Amino acid sequence: MPHVTIELLAGRTEEQKAAVARAVTEALQAHANASPASTSIVFRDVTKDNWASGGELMSAKR
């Protein structure tokens, strides 16, 4: 049973997340023989002040 956690900067719409969930589920089915019913996906929305890249908070980047 695959379990996928996807962390994204906050701001994606429900429709965007649904499309990602479908695509990831289809990829697991096609390439890992995973049943769609057994695949679970969790989205974690992270605010820019809680995510850093290159030693700098995303909230400080322009």
Instruction: Please count the structural domains in the chain.
Output: 1
pLDDT reading at 18 higher than 90: yes
- Domain of 29? 3-50
The answer to whether residue 10 sits within a structural domain is yes
> Given this model, what pLDDT does residue 48 score?
96
> Given this model, what pLDDT does residue 62 score?
75
| pTM score | 0.88
> CB-based contacts of 25: which residues, under 8 Å, 6+ apart?
36, 39, 41
The answer to whether residue 30 sits within a structural domain is yes
Out of 2, 12, 29, 51, pick the active-site residue. Answer: 2
Average pLDDT over residues 8-17: 97
Q: Is 36 a catalytic residue?
A: no
Which of 48, 46, 41 has the alpha carbon at shortest distance from 62?
Answer: 48
Residues 40 and 17: their CA atoms lie apart, in Å, by 13
CATH number of the domain at 26, please.
Answer: 3.30.429.10
| pLDDT tens digits along 22-56 | 999 999 999 999 999 999 999 999 999 999 999 99
